[in-house]
Structure 1
Amino acid sequence: MRPSDLAAATPASRDRFIDLLRVASLATVVLGHWLMAAVSVGADGRVQVGNLLALQPRFQLLTWVFQVMPVFFFVGGFSHALSWRSTGRRTPKAYSVFLRARLQRLLRPTVVFIGVWGAVAMALQLAGSGGGLLDVSLRLVAQPLWFVGIYLAMVAFTPPLLRLHERYGWGAFGGLVAAAVLVDLLRFGLGVPYVEFLNFAFVWLAVHQLGFLRADGRLGRPYLLAGAGLVGAALLVGFGPYPLSMVGMPGEKVSNMAPPTLALLCHGLWLVGAVELLRAPAVRWLNRPRVWRTVVAANGVSMTAFLWHLTAMLGVYGALLALGVRLPEPGSGAWWIQVSWRIVAAVTLTGVLVAVFRAFEKPSGARESSAPRAWAGPAAALGVTLCLFGVLGLSMVGFGGLLQGRTALLMAVHVTAPAAVMMTLSGWLLVERAGRGRGGAV
């Protein structure tokens, strides 16, 4: 169905603001990545990719507005609550069906992305090609996959966390916040090793829990949420061991992002409250047919654009280097002048990649199972777990060194790229098989 048809068929009960937040948050992340990348050529001729925020620290305060991943995870909580309740009404033992339905538009384009880049990396390695920007690209393009891994965990934990929400409401959210506080106390106060990795769950799932509260109309006064989050983040950064930037900086001893910290959780509260304050004017704007059609169309390709946007950015830089265009010093006046048309070129190339790969973001025609087999739930849970560790591992190790067994440390475990790819593929197949009907396409 075309975006215009989907827009015309939108029921009056749909929360259009949630759809706008989904598109806007991913678009902001993409734009931020394009702006932060600081590619330069050193005196020895080697290509280096730095971070503008590290080179120009005065811009780090902007991450308090433009680090919007918490908004996307908040939107996920809202959508997952509605989806799980809907699936449970239609299908007994619905876990495998729910996972497949929620993950199709996430995992299918992700698996294609991994397959394409894995094949390119293998071909380059067998041909003995590499060096320069190419080696950097093989590492960088996989980094956004961390987001996919976190989102997989959110989907997987939706049923039990939603039950806690339905029983305890704000208390369930408070429990996750308390756990995040405890983790940071153990980490920074007592120096307990590896405990910080638990906040990948507690911090992001707490933000996800806010989406449940929003789905039930229990979010309360958003200005209180925004104010408390902003004040909390400011106090933690001003008097605690937390850095100013809400995104990771190269070489820093403590990152608010990896693993997430209590400061990032407060930042998430501030952002969620802030965007909720914009709801009323945004809804009036979304009632315009042309605006809503644009949002619907963008939602249909948002994951594909997110997965391929770094490929497009690095492709633009590669073309500039191949053409002998001089790259100005990152952060200089000439650099900022060049930024505008570099972004235009990256948008254009991303559009081309979306046109090529957008079909994989559409749900497949295989029908849901109306009566899942007994093994379907455990198989789907195993599948999503394999996918989670696979994409997180790949985000850390990248596509380089496929044949050399290059490793990266994932939560105290060394992982290789081939192992991460195999976990992702086998997990995706399990999720697909467990939630699919016995027949063919509908």
Structure 2
Amino acid sequence: MSLSVSELAARTPDTRDRYIDLLRVASLATVVLGHWLMAAVTADGTVGNLLAVVPELQVLTWGLQIMPVFFFVGGFSHALSHRSRPGYAAFLRARLQRLLRPTAVFIGVWTAAALAVQLAGGDGGLTGTALRLVAQPLWFIGIYLAMVALTPPLLRLHERYGWGAFAALVAGAVAVDALRFAAGVPYVEFLNFAFVWLAVHQLGFLRADGRLRAPAVLAAGGLAGAAALVALGPYPLSMVGMPGEKVSNMAPPTLALLCHGLWLVGAVELLRGPGARLARRPAVWRAVVAANGVAMTAFLWHLTAMLGVYGAMLALGAPLPEPASAAWWAQVPLRLAAAAAVTALLVAAFRRFERPGARPAAAGGSSPVAALGITLCLLGVLGLSAVGFGGLLTGRSALLIAVPVTAPAAVGMALAGWLLVERAGRRA
């Protein structure tokens, strides 16, 4: 029998770092809110970006682009989890079960819906855009999968070299940007998907071992570095991707985004004391426990909810004011409330897939099968984030770094990889 939120909250041991759980929920909630606010849909169904309409708002991404905090929290959690469950296959299944099961359901449902829409010839306008956009957040799943897969070797490097392992990843990010912008080396920039995000992840290892002792230095240095790079270099102001820009700080990540991540990690560590006291309040902790239980489901479906709200407004003939106009801003609270309500309905429908499975992970399991599974998952979800669910029947492709990938191939790899990870980590 599953426990209620109140029972889970009451049973939380005093040794648990509740601030980490609070950061996990707060970072994902900020991402969801940011996506809802950035969407600027016009009366003809075109989906734009508010930050492109009002470029002055791009400075807000220095606070709202909070994915580095989630990856930092992931590093902390992965270190503790691996030390308590050292077998590779068992570790993967334990860490990924609540991530991959809701992701596999999301991919399956949207694949079926996309096929039905395309067979009916209704994949134009906002619907066609939705088939592409709803898959974009899967890039985050792909990066997170890589972090989990690489935790064992990176944790060993951390235990041997400490800050030196982090410094090596930062040096890699610096070298990549130098080769990219100064020497014009093609494709080298994609290495920073690893160097930048794994450096932030490595800070979580340092936090787990109590070695992150100078957060003010980290915050000040990161903020100063990001500001200098944006002011002097080829880096844009926005810390999220913008349509049509020649250089993006996000895809692939840049040294400026790494500095941004450093300042955010330093900032949340500076708030650790009051944040921990807040998380210990019974009402707050119950809310955190409840939110953590559905966080991944809400993240996966929040764009579906938002685009559904806009689609309903267009179908009902509701007014869609010019983005960033006074009427548009006045309508924001209503749109956010509607998107939150639809997300809550979707969470209610799919939350059961985020619950841990009944069978625990074994201490052994097949590590090669697990490694193959997570590799297929990684390629599948990253491929889907690039190509979307459109073109399932036509075989439309998109480039994943330098390799073309189609939607059917991406769906197949993601679902097959999930099944392999599940199988590898189960009891014999």
TM-score range, shorter chain: over 0.9
- 1:129, distance to aligned residue in structure 2 (A): 1.8
Shift of 1:13: 0.6
| Structure 1 residue identity aligned to 2:107 | I
Could you tell me how far apart the structure 1 residues matched to 2:360 and 2:268 are? Answer: 36
Of 354-363 and 325-334, deviating more is 325-334
Shift in Å at residue 344 of structure 1? 0.3
1: CA distance between counterparts of 2:61 and 2:278?
A: 26
Q: What secondary structure, in the 3-state scheme, does the structure 1 residue paired with 2:135 have?
A: coil
Alignment partners' CA distance in 2, 1:238 and 1:130:
42
**Counterpart of 1:327?**
320
| 1:2 matched residue in structure 2 | 4
Counterpart for residue 227 of structure 1: 220
CA offset at residue 77 of structure 1?
Answer: 0.1
Contact 2:85 2:363 survives alignment (8 Å): no
Unpaired segments ≥5 residues, structure 1: 89-93
Distance in 2, matches of 1:63 and 1:125, equals: 36
The answer to whether structure 1 residue 381 and structure 2 residue 371 are counterparts is yes
Question: Contact 2:386 / 2:398 at 8 angstroms: preserved in 1?
Answer: yes
How do 1:403-414 residues align onto structure 2 when only pairs under 5 Å count? Answer: 403-414=393-404
Give me the identity figure in percent: 75
1:242 aligns with 2:223: no
Q: CA deviation at 1:370?
A: 3.3
Cα offsets for 1:214-256 (capped at 9, x unmatched): 0000011101000000000000000000000000000000000
Written as runs of structure 1 = structure 2, the 5 A alignment for 1:84-95 is: 84-88=82-86, 94-95=87-88
- 1:165-206: CA deviations, max 9, x gaps? 001100000000000000000000111000000000000000
Provide the C-alpha distance between the structure 2 equivalents of 1:322 and 1:197, rounded to a whole number of angstroms: 41
**2:308 corresponds to 1:310:** no
Shift of 1:112: 0.2
Secondary structure, counterpart of 1:315 in structure 2? helix
Partner of 2:279: 286
Instruction: Write the letter of the residue equivalent to 1:37.
Output: A
1:102 maps to 95
Corresponding residue of 1:258: 251
Q: Give the residue type in structure 1 aligned to 2:71.
A: F
CA distance in 2, matches of 1:228, 1:341: 40
Q: Is 1:397 matched with 2:387?
A: yes
User: What amino acid sits opposite 2:28 in the alignment?
Assistant: L
Cα deviation per residue 1:95-149 (whole Å; 9 max; x = unaligned)?
A: 0000000000100000000000000000111122221110010000000000000
Rounded to whole Å, the distance in 1 between the matches of 2:47 and 2:191 is 30
Q: Secondary structure, in 3 states, of the residue corresponding to 2:385?
A: helix
Question: In the TM superposition, what whole-angstrom CA distance separates every residue of 1:298-355 from its partner, at most 9, and x where no partner exists?
Answer: 0000000000000000010011101101211111111000011000000000000000
Matches within 5 A, 1:49-128: 49-88=47-86, 94-128=87-121
The amino acid of 2:156's aligned partner reads: R
Q: Paired residue for 1:348?
A: 341
Q: Whole-Å Cα distance in 1 between the matches of residues 179 and 420 of structure 2?
A: 37
SS of the aligned residue for 2:405 comes to strand
Task: Note the alpha carbon deviations across 1:239-279, whole angstroms, 9 max, x for none.
Answer: 00000000000000000000000000000000000011111
SS of equivalent to 1:404:
coil
Partner SS for 1:38? strand
CA distance in 2, matches of 1:371, 1:310: 38
Separation of aligned partners in 1, 2:321 and 2:120 = 32
**Could you tell me which residue of structure 1 aligns to residue 173 of structure 2?**
180
Equivalent position to 2:416, from 426, 429, 437 = 426
Aligned match for 2:203, one of 193, 206, 210 = 210
Partner Cα distance (1:87, 1:130) in 2: 46
Distance in 2 between the 1:366 and 1:102 partners? 14
Q: Deviations for 1:384-440, whole angstroms, at most 9, x for unmatched residues?
A: 0110010000001000110101000001000000000000011111100011002xx
Counterparts of 1:105 and 1:369 in 2: how far apart (Å)? 16
Give the match for residue 417 of structure 1: 407
Where do 4+ consecutive residues of structure 1 move more than 3 Å? Answer: none
Root-mean-square deviation (Å): 0.7
Q: Output the amino acid matched with 1:67.
A: Q
SS of equivalent residue, structure 2 residue 40: strand
Equivalent residue, structure 2, for 1:37: 39
Match of 1:149 among 126, 142, 147: 142
Within 1, Cα distance between the matches of 2:118 and 2:248? Answer: 33
Q: Secondary structure at the match of 1:321?
A: helix
